[in-house]
Chain A
Amino acid sequence: MKILNLNINGVIHTKAVPATMTLLDFLREEVGLTGTKNGCDSGECGCCTVMIDSKPMLSCIMLALEAERCDITTIEGIANGNDLHPVQEAMVEKGAIQCGYCTPAMVINGVHLLENNDNPSETQVKECISATVCRCTGYNSIEKAMHSAASKMRKARHG
């Protein structure tokens, strides 16, 4: 066991963890942030995406100890209190959520894309969600939600 201090959504969590614990298990089992989902547990489905130092990465194929000194943002840290992020709002409005299992990962990837580029091309949106598997929506509504969120964010920024 090693002591791990981890900054998650702006809060420092200190726990003793075994080396074999993945970041995903740390978030879900130790800290109780169950928004991040465990799908394939082998880096294929994208469900476990979290932001590490502002970049989306897969938490199921990363040891918790490797995240030391990194800033982690999970789906729980995306909304501002009760105000949803424009990406979350758009996902609701466009019916881009069905079973909800991939939603946290879709939102994290979308937020990363749109915070860096609020006028993404169709290809950039497709690429952004390409590695998160959704078995319900057929992806169309998610793409629509991303474009709708982008337009909201452009309006908010540029009027």
Chain B
Amino acid sequence: MSLFQENFDFVRPTSLDQLNDLVKEYQEKGLEFAFSAGGTDVIPKLKSQPSQLDKFISLNGLQDLNNVKIQGKRISIGALTTLSDLASHELVREHLPTLATAAHKVASPQIRNRATIGGNIMVDNRCIYINQSSINRECHDPCFKADGNVCHLVKSARRGDEILCQARFVSDTAPVLLLLNAKITIIGPNGARTISLGDLYLKDGIDSRSLQVGEVITTIEIEIPEDTSLHYEKLAIRNALDFPSLGVAVRITGNNLSIALTGLNTLPGVFHANSSNYDTFNDMVSAISTQAMDFAKTYQQDFFPRGYRKSMIPVFIQRGVTSILKDRQ
């Protein structure tokens, strides 16, 4: 039977106005609420740790947000588009093939049929201690991220530290979206706003997103790139289901080389280099690889040894560069 640790109520608004009204009502009454799109991240979390949830707000009734549209030179992706729909969508495969690849690398077929793109860019950070079943977690004291008072990864961590929790950022689609300069539209009790995807991410593993309480992502907008010289590569213990131990997206446009990293730090890393600043192309690649390796946090918070993950960063960058240059020939 159900392993949920609290009783909550289920609501499914069918319009954004209705959603905002509900949020305002719950805020006034001081009720705890959580949003769920596919639920593949939220529901296991609710099962594995106690919370004070009063209202479970399913976003699946907002059918207007489940589509991919092209408007001139922009592609607009509704946040409720499932990862399998995104990966197989004609427009995405034609104009943003690397995004389709990254979406296809998330979790497993069953999860991609349910999980959404909005959910994947919001997917909660995790470390080797928190990303476990409730049974496993009973063996440890609850950590800061589980409202406890200890960090199993950094024993010296104390409340008040600038970065309290080192749980890793693990979205597969975000690195590609970041290199495509995606913008996200957010709606909440105080109206709508549009920000760059990069501004969504904060550097603490607990409060890792800049959304205000009651805000949800509605659409992701991408300007169609002139060329599609992108590549995404993922390192995971097995191809099915695992979060990225390391994910590297590479983009080459004109004289610029850009990379975006996932799985290495509490937030994604984005680095740019321009070939005019370097003697050779290879110098540029090694310089950006060094920056990426400096960005990696080397805590033992993954099943791969930390040194291995770090040493694979330049390998993945080189693979991406090679693959893009080969495609261009």
Which A positions have Cβ atoms within 8 angstroms of B? Answer: 2, 18-22, 25, 29, 40-44, 46, 49, 52, 55-58, 61-63, 65-66, 109, 127-128, 130-131
Contacts and interface: CB of A to CB of B under 8 A. Distances in A.
A56 B113 contact: yes
Contacts, number: 89
Given A56-B113, A66-B60, A131-B107, A43 B10 contact: no
B3 A41 contact: yes
A42 B7 contact: no
Nearest to B56: A19
A41 B7 contact: no
Contact of A61 (B10, B39, B109, B133): B39
A58 B8 contact: no
Interface stretch (B42-50, B162-170, B297-305): B42-50
B43 A130 contact: no
Contacts of A52: 113-114
Contacts of A20: 2, 4, 6-8
A42 B47 contact: yes
B111 A63 contact: no
B327 interface: no
Say what secondary structure dominates the interface of chain B. loop
Contacts of A131: 107-111, 240-241
A58 B114 contact: yes
10 contacts: A18-B7, A20-B2, A42-B44, A42-B47, A44-B133, A56-B110, A61-B114, A62-B114, A130-B109, A131-B111
B57 to A, nearest CB: 11
Contacts of A65: 10, 12, 58
Contacts of A2: 10
Contacts of B109: 56, 109, 127-128, 130-131
Contact of B1 (A25, A66, A127): A25
Interface string B102-135: 0000011111011000000000000000000110
A35 B6 CA distance: 28
Given A19-B9, A63-B10, A66-B60, A41 B110 contact: no
B10 A46 contact: no
Contact of A58 (B9, B40, B238, B239): B40
Contacts of B1: 25, 29
Given A46-B110, A62-B43, A66-B60, 9 more contacts: A18-B7, A19-B8, A19-B56, A20-B6, A43-B44, A46-B108, A57-B113, A61-B114, A63-B56
B173 interface: no
B10 A49 contact: no
B84 interface: yes
A44 B48 CA distance: 13
Nearest to A64: B10
A62 B39 contact: yes
Contacts of A40: 133
Interface in B11-57: 12, 39-40, 43-44, 47-48, 56
A61 B6 CA distance: 16
A127 B238 CA distance: 11
A65 B10 CA distance: 8
Interface in B59-96: 60, 84
A42 B113 contact: no
Interface centre among A25, A29, A43, A55 (most CB of B within 10 A): A43
Contacts of B239: 127, 130
A18 B107 CA distance: 29
Contact of A55 (B4, B84, B108): B84
Nearest to A56: B110
B110 A58 contact: yes
A97 B240 CA distance: 21
Contacts of B107: 131
A20 B8 CA distance: 7
A41 B47 contact: yes
A153 to B, nearest CB: 19
Closest 7 CB pairs of A and B: A131-B108, A19-B10, A130-B240, A55-B113, A20-B4, A61-B43, A42-B44
A58 B111 CA distance: 7
B241 A44 contact: yes
A61 B40 contact: yes
Contacts of A109: 109-110
A22 B2 contact: yes
